[in-house]
């Protein structure tokens, strides 16, 4: 077979070894998503077959040779109603089915483990709550609902894991969430699917699904020493947030203990839930988010903290369940404010300090 | 054995092109550049959109060549990004939007309604000049380094992060938008005010209805695009904060504004094409269109619903779940009128007397491809499956089935259908049928593998991709080669026919539209005297009577 070109051989080899027609199903939602997908494929095939059959049959039966004179027909209300109502019914089924799926994919369960994702040109930065940082790589355990809180630091990106059938846009200045529960250990592709500039096609990585035991081992072996909340705590102290938010009776800022998920009444009279997005906005644009009873004295931190930094702060505030933690923070920084430039502790992550501008 | 045909040409030994027609009326370049004649302007449009189609097509060829291998090895990633951006911009704004309306519509609409010209001939010429200006700006953009925003100009990427020619590309689209607004305006006024005596709304050919619907979309939608692009340019040049969160803007606002135009734009592109299909299917099955009223109103329904589905481009972008619900439901609604049209066309064939000349072959190809394109749109309109499929090659395949498999097939069908009227000559039938077949096969081979690629998760706009996607990409590139041949053939034989084609006579297809009741090529005034419409559209019995009368009076 020497006469066949080697390029062709390579192609045939690839065809046999590197060829798939359908992505693996590696999350709990994937089979559900595929069920709707195949229902739609079925309806499409039936619809297409009907159209093709009609056209072919009529073309044979009524071609000029066989049927030299056309019979004029105005139309038929009954037939037209049929092909209005049947497609409409099918489309409505797809709409309801799709909506149920959509609400499931975008409504994380309460017990989900939260992992933060920051997209930037051209990489994905992953922040685990235990302080593990990853780039273009996401380790997750099976059998545990994982919520991703996604934000972009620059332009639109989109976080896509085809094997899980989930995807969510990473938007600058706004948190989005998606969740999944991985079922099959293995390595899967992770893509950026929203065009984001020069190296858009290099913004890809791997999702590594592990058994819970392996995942635990991985967590232990790759910890940076600080949890994400601890990083946040350092930042909280170094930005002197605790000068006002110190839970003292005479504090100039509201206490942040237990503030996460609480209902707040703002100076405008509006009531809001202090979720991740609210906390982020309150840090970056405090003037628009004044809690009732306080004066608008907080400076903006827009441009002073990176998205990673904000995430660490949010994670810290989320975990402030008692003011014990806050007192601890106070104790470490009961020093004049100009001490914020103190030398970083060994093992401290650069993310926690590099944004601090004196 | 030869296939039966309805083509009836005048006796070639005596037939000649009428000496006085719109092509020969005046000579010289200026008589073309300053013309007010809708047929001459349509001819100018035909030449210019063909030029841009081949530029866009060459860029598509480059894209497919790059994707032959997983590595980004034919061009650098930046170059690839520019190539697909320019391909999208040129094909959407300089080819698809003006293809059927400004070219075929311009040529036949006044004749179909029995008028001498469009209502505003000078505005019509202005549309073409704006188009040429936009085209020139686009070529300037390309010659001075191109633009790599994608045709969607996504902010803040386009306003803050790229250093390519975003401003000139944005302004080119802005100008092209005005060209399309003026064309739409002209059509609406003409259809309202210039119909000949007896031409009631329900006697209008369906081509008019669908172009009317598209014109409404152009007039109401395009200004939104124009203002959005102005804001992009202003944000880029003087940093007003509208879309970029770094300046206090809202990035989702751009998506809302852009898709508020760009989804209706899909219908601006496809509706006129649907009009062509109605004309062609009726003519070659010798039957009036099944359920004329339903087809007419489905065009209007599409135009109305088209304005309320834009956010289905944003299901994964963090709009509220309930907003997604509403837009998904409305998207399902807009799919229904398209389904109605497909079935009505199929049943137009029922008990007809069908022949398979080239325009009919393209039209049948359209029906198959548009059905696939439409059904896969439902996959994307349903919120749950959209999450997995959006922003992948599934979307690319879907809109190419609608835009290329649908609109381009319809455009070629229309060009082959009205070519004898336009030039007075026939093209060689066998080779044009072959071209239709080659196009159909090449198209499917190019774009069907992309549905599978998308389902596998391959993202759009990737210069390089993981190796497991290569096999399907090789199929797609091979198909694109075949498709390219399918598009080159018509250029060759249509040009050939200008000089050597058989004389077509007034009505080679025995069609009923008023444009066929005048000489080919028509007079500058279209008709010797203003016609009076005394029958329904697609009345083949009336046509036969007319012909019998003629024979009786001549004989």
* B173 or A243, which is more confident: B173
Question: What does the alpha-carbon distance between residue A314 and residue A306 come to, in Å, rounded to a whole number?
Answer: 12
Question: What does the alpha-carbon distance between residue A294 and residue A93 come to, in Å, rounded to a whole number?
Answer: 51
Task: Report residue B518 as tokens.
Answer: 């005048």
Q: Cα–Cα–Cα angle for B278, B284, B288, nearest 5°?
A: 55
ipTM of the complex: 0.92
Q: How distant, in Å, are the alpha carbons of A314, B2, B230, B308, B450 from that of B330?
A: 38, 49, 29, 7, 27
pLDDT at B171 over 70: yes
Superfamily of domain A22-223: Cupredoxins -  blue copper proteins (2.60.40.420)
Within the 87-116 window of chain A, which residues sit less than 8 Å (CB to CB) from chain B? 87-88, 91-92, 94-95, 97-103, 105-107
Specify the pLDDT at position A338: 45
Residue from B398, B421, B171 nearest B279 by CA: B421
Residue B2: pLDDT band (50, 70, 90) is low
How much is the average pLDDT of B170-195? Answer: 96
Instruction: Please provide residue B305's backbone torsions phi and psi, each rounded to the nearest 5 degrees.
Output: -65, -30
Q: Mutating which of B318, B319, B381, B512 best tests the A interface, going by the most A Cβ atoms within 10 A?
A: B318
pLDDT at B281 over 60: yes
Count of beta carbons in the 10 Å neighbourhood of residue A340: 15
Does residue A9 sit at the B interface (CB-CB below 8 Å)?
Answer: no
A13: buried, middle or exposed (CB in 10 Å: 19+, 13-18, 0-12)?
A: exposed
B458: buried, middle or exposed (CB in 10 Å: 19+, 13-18, 0-12)?
A: buried
Unique residue bearing structure tokens 């010289």: B28
Does residue A314 sit at the B interface (CB-CB below 8 Å)?
Answer: no
Strand (E) or helix (H) holding A21: none
Q: How distant, in Å, are the alpha carbons of A78, B213, B404, B435 from that of B438?
A: 38, 32, 14, 5
Question: What does the alpha-carbon distance between residue B408 and residue B394 come to, in Å, rounded to a whole number?
Answer: 19
Specify the pLDDT at position B283: 95
Contact B315, A102 (CB under 8 A): yes
The shortest C-alpha distance from A228 to chain B (Å) reads 25
CB proximity list for B425: less than 8 A, separation 6 or greater:
B17, B419, B497, B498, B501, B502, B503, B504
The shortest C-alpha distance from A232 to chain B (Å) reads 23
Question: What does the alpha-carbon distance between residue B209 and residue B215 come to, in Å, rounded to a whole number?
Answer: 10
Specify the pLDDT at position B257: 94
Per-residue exposure over B237-256, b if at least 16 CB sit within 10 Å of its own CB, e if not: eeeeebbbbbeebbbbebbb
Unique residue bearing structure tokens 């049959």: A57
Task: Report residue B149 as tokens.
Answer: 């925003």
Beta-strand pair A205-210/A166-170: unpaired
Question: What does the alpha-carbon distance between residue B207 and residue B105 come to, in Å, rounded to a whole number?
Answer: 8
Q: What is the pLDDT along chain A (358 residues), one digit of tens a residue?
A: 566 777 777 777 777 777 788 999 999 999 999 999 999 999 999 999 999 999 999 999 999 989 888 898 888 899 999 999 999 999 999 999 999 999 999 999 999 999 999 999 999 999 999 889 999 999 999 999 999 999 999 999 999 999 999 999 999 988 999 999 999 999 999 999 999 999 999 999 999 999 999 999 999 888 777 888 888 888 888 888 888 888 777 888 888 888 888 888 888 888 888 888 889 988 988 888 888 888 888 888 888 888 888 999 998 888 887 766 666 665 554 444 444 444 444 444 444 444 444 3
Contact call for B317 and A47, based on CB within 8 A: no
Strand (E) or helix (H) holding A151: strand A145-152
Within the 117-146 window of chain A, which residues sit less than 8 Å (CB to CB) from chain B? 121
Domain ranges of chain A: 22-223, 228-353
Contact call for A158 and B77, based on CB within 8 A: no
Specify the pLDDT at position B396: 96
Contact call for B390 and A94, based on CB within 8 A: no
Residue from B366, B289, B296, B377 nearest B337 by CA: B296
Specify the pLDDT at position B479: 95
SS3 call for B425:
strand
Specify the pLDDT at position A332: 52
Task: Report residue B309 as tokens.
Answer: 């589905």
Q: Classify the C-alpha dihedral A59-A62-A67-A71 as positive or negative.
A: negative
Contact B335, B378 (CB under 8 A): yes
Per-residue exposure over A202-217, b if at least 16 CB sit within 10 Å of its own CB, e if not: bbbbbbbbbeeeebee
Q: DSSP readout, B290-359? A: TTHHHHHHHHHHHHHHHTT-GGGG-TTTT--HHHHHHHHHHHHHHHHHHHHHHHHHHHHSTT--B---HH
Straight-line distance from the first to the last Cα atom of chain B, in angstroms, rounded to the nearest whole number:
32
Domain ranges of chain B: 31-554
Q: E-assigned strands of B6-110?
A: none
Count of beta carbons in the 10 Å neighbourhood of residue B110: 30
SS3 call for A230:
helix
For residue B503, give the DSSP letter: B
* pLDDT tens readout for residues B48-84: 999 999 999 999 999 999 999 999 889 999 999 999 9
pTM, to two decimals = 0.90
Phi-psi region of A303 (alpha: psi -120 to 50; beta: other; left: phi over 0): left
Question: What does the alpha-carbon distance between residue A145 and residue A24 come to, in Å, rounded to a whole number?
Answer: 19
pLDDT at B382 over 70: yes
Residues of A in contact with B351 (CB under 8 A): 62, 67, 70-71, 73
CATH fold of A228-353 = Cytochrome Bc1 Complex; Chain D, domain 2 (1.10.760)
Instruction: Please provide residue A151's backbone torsions phi and psi, each rounded to the nearest 5 degrees.
Output: -150, 155
Q: How distant, in Å, are the alpha carbons of A26, A140, A142, A163, A284 from that of A184?
A: 5, 11, 7, 10, 40
The closest CB to that of B353, out of A69, A95, A107, belongs to A69
Contact call for B468 and A20, based on CB within 8 A: yes
CATH fold of B31-554 = Cytochrome C Oxidase; Chain A (1.20.210)
Q: State the virtual CA torsion across A198, A200, A201, A205 in degrees, nearest 10.
A: 130
How much is the average pLDDT of B449-453? Answer: 95
Chain-centre distance for alpha carbon A237: 29
Contact B502, B426 (CB under 8 A): yes
Residues of B in contact with A21 (CB under 8 A): 452, 456
Phi-psi region of A38 (alpha: psi -120 to 50; beta: other; left: phi over 0): alpha
Average pLDDT, rounded, for chain B:
93
Question: What does the alpha-carbon distance between residue B240 and residue A133 come to, in Å, rounded to a whole number?
Answer: 36
Does residue A44 sit at the B interface (CB-CB below 8 Å)?
Answer: yes
Residue from B60, B243, B71 nearest B161 by CA: B243
The closest CB to that of A62, out of B246, B351, B384, belongs to B351
Residues of B in contact with A155 (CB under 8 A): 154, 156-157, 160-161
Chain-centre distance for alpha carbon B202: 24
Question: In what order do the strands lie in the sheet containing A137-141?
Answer: A137-141, A205-210, A186-192, A157-161, A166-170
Question: What does the alpha-carbon distance between residue B359 and residue B363 come to, in Å, rounded to a whole number?
Answer: 6
Specify the pLDDT at position A329: 62
Q: Mutating which of A7, A86, A98 best tests the B interface, going by the most B Cβ atoms within 10 A?
A: A98
Does residue A166 sit at the B interface (CB-CB below 8 Å)?
Answer: yes
Phi-psi region of B391 (alpha: psi -120 to 50; beta: other; left: phi over 0): left
Specify the pLDDT at position A356: 41
Question: What does the alpha-carbon distance between residue B262 and residue B222 come to, in Å, rounded to a whole number?
Answer: 9
How much is the average pLDDT of B468-492? Answer: 94
Chain-centre distance for alpha carbon B166: 25
B365 forms beta bridges with none
Specify the pLDDT at position A349: 43
Beta-strand pair A176-181/A186-192: unpaired
Residues of B in contact with A204 (CB under 8 A): 466
């Amino acid at each position: 077979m020497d006469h066949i070109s080697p390029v062709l051989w390579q192609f045939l080899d690839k065809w046999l070894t590197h060829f798939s027609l359908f992505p693996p199903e590696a999350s709990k939602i994937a089979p559900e998503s595929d069920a709707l997908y195949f229902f739609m494929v079925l309806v499409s095939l039936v619809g297409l077959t009907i159209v093709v059959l009609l056209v072919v049959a009529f073309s044979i039966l009524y071609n000029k040779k066989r049927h030299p004179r056309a019979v004029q027909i105005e139309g038929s209300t009954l037939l037209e109603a049929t092909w209005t109502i049947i497609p409409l019914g099918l489309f409505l089924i797809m709409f309801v089915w799709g909506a149920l799926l959509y609400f499931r994919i975008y409504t994380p369960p309460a017990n989900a483990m939260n992992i933060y994702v920051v997209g930037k040109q051209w990489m994905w930065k992953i922040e685990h709550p235990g302080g593990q940082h990853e780039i273009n790589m996401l380790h997750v355990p099976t059998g545990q609902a994982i919520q991703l809180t996604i934000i972009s630091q620059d332009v639109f990106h989109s976080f896509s894991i085809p094997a899980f059938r989930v995807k969510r846009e990473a938007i600058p200045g706004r948190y989005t969430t998606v969740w999944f529960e991985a079922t099959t250990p293995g390595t899967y592709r992770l893509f950026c699917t929203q065009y984001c500039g020069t190296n858009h096609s290099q913004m890809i990585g791997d999702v590594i699904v592990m058994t819970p035991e392996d995942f635990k081992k991985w967590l232990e072996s790759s910890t940076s020493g600080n949890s994400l909340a601890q990083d946040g705590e350092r930042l909280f102290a170094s930005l002197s947030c605790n000068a006002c938010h110190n839970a003292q009776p005479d504090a100039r800022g509201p206490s942040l203990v237990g503030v996460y998920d609480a209902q707040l009444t703002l100076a405008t009279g509006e009531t809001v839930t202090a979720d991740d997005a609210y906390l982020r906005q309150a840090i970056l644009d405090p003037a628009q988010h004044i809690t009732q009873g306080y004066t608008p004295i907080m400076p903006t931190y827009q441009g002073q903290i990176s998205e990673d930094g904000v995430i660490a702060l949010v994670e810290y505030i989320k975990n402030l369940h008692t003011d014990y933690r806050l007192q601890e923070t106070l104790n470490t920084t009961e020093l004049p404010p100009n001490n914020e430039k103190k030398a970083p502790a060994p093992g401290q992550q650069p993310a926690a300090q590099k944004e601090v501008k004196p | 054995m030869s296939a039966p045909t309805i083509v009836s040409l005048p006796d070639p030994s005596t037939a000649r092109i009428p000496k006085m027609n719109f092509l020969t009326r005046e000579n010289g370049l200026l008589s073309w550049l300053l013309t007010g004649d809708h047929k001459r302007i349509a001819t100018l449009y035909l030449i210019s959109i063909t030029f841009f189609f081949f530029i866009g097509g060459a860029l598509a060829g480059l894209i497919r060549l790059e994707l032959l291998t997983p590595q980004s090895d034919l061009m650098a990633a930046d170059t690839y990004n520019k190539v697909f951006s320019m391909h999208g911009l040129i094909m959407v704004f300089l080819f698809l939007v003006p293809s059927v309306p400004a070219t075929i519509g311009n040529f036949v609409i006044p004749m179909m309604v029995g008028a001498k010209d469009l209502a505003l001939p000078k505005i019509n010429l202005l549309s073409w000049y704006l188009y040429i200006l936009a085209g020139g700006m686009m070529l300037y953009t390309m010659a001075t380094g191109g633009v790599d925003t994608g045709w969607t100009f996504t902010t803040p990427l386009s306003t803050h992060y790229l250093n390519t020619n975003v401003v000139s590309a944005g302004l080119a689209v802005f100008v092209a938008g005005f060209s399309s607004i003026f064309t739409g305006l002209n059509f609406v006024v003409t259809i309202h005010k210039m119909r000949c005596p007896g031409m009631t709304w329900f006697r209008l050919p369906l081509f008019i209805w669908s172009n009317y619907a598209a014109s409404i979309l152009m007039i109401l939608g395009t200004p939104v695009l124009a203002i959005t692009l102005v804001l992009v340019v202003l944000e880029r040049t003087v940093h007003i904060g509208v879309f970029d969160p770094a300046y206090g803007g809202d990035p989702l606002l751009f998506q809302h504004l852009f898709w508020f135009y760009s989804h209706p734009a899909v219908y601006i592109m496809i509706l006129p094409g649907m009009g062509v299909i109605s004309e062609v299917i009726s003519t070659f099955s010798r039957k009036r269109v099944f359920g004329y009223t339903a087809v007419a109103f489905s065009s209007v329904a599409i135009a109305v619903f088209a304005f309320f589905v834009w956010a289905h481009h944003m299901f994964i972008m963090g709009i509220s779940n309930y907003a997604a619900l509403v837009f998904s439901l409305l998207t399902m609604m807009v799919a229904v009128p398209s389904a109605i049209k497909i079935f009505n066309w199929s049943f137009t064939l029922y008990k007809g007397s069908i022949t398979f000349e080239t325009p009919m072959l393209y039209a049948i190809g359209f029906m198959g491809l548009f059905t696939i394109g439409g059904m896969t749109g439902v996959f994307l309109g349903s919120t749950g499956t959209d999450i997995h499929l959006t922003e992948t090659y599934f979307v690319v395949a879907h809109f190419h089935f609608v835009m290329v498999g649908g609109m381009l097939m319809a455009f070629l069908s229309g060009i082959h259908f009205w070519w004898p009227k336009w030039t007075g000559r026939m093209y060689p039938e066998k080779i044009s049928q072959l071209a239709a077949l080659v196009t159909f096969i090449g198209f499917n081979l190019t774009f069907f593998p992309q549905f599978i690629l998308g389902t596998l998760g391959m993202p759009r706009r990737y210069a390089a991709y993981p190796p497991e996607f290569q096999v399907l990409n090789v199929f797609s590139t091979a198909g694109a080669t075949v498709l390219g041949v399918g598009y080159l053939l018509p250029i060759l034989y249509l040009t050939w026919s200008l000089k050597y084609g058989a004389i077509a006579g007034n009505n080679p297809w025995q069609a009923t539209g008023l444009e066929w009741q005048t000489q080919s090529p028509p007079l500058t005034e279209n008709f010797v005297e203003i016609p009076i419409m005394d029958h329904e559209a697609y009345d083949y019995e009336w046509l036969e009577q007319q012909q019998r009368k003629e024979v009786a009076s001549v004989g």
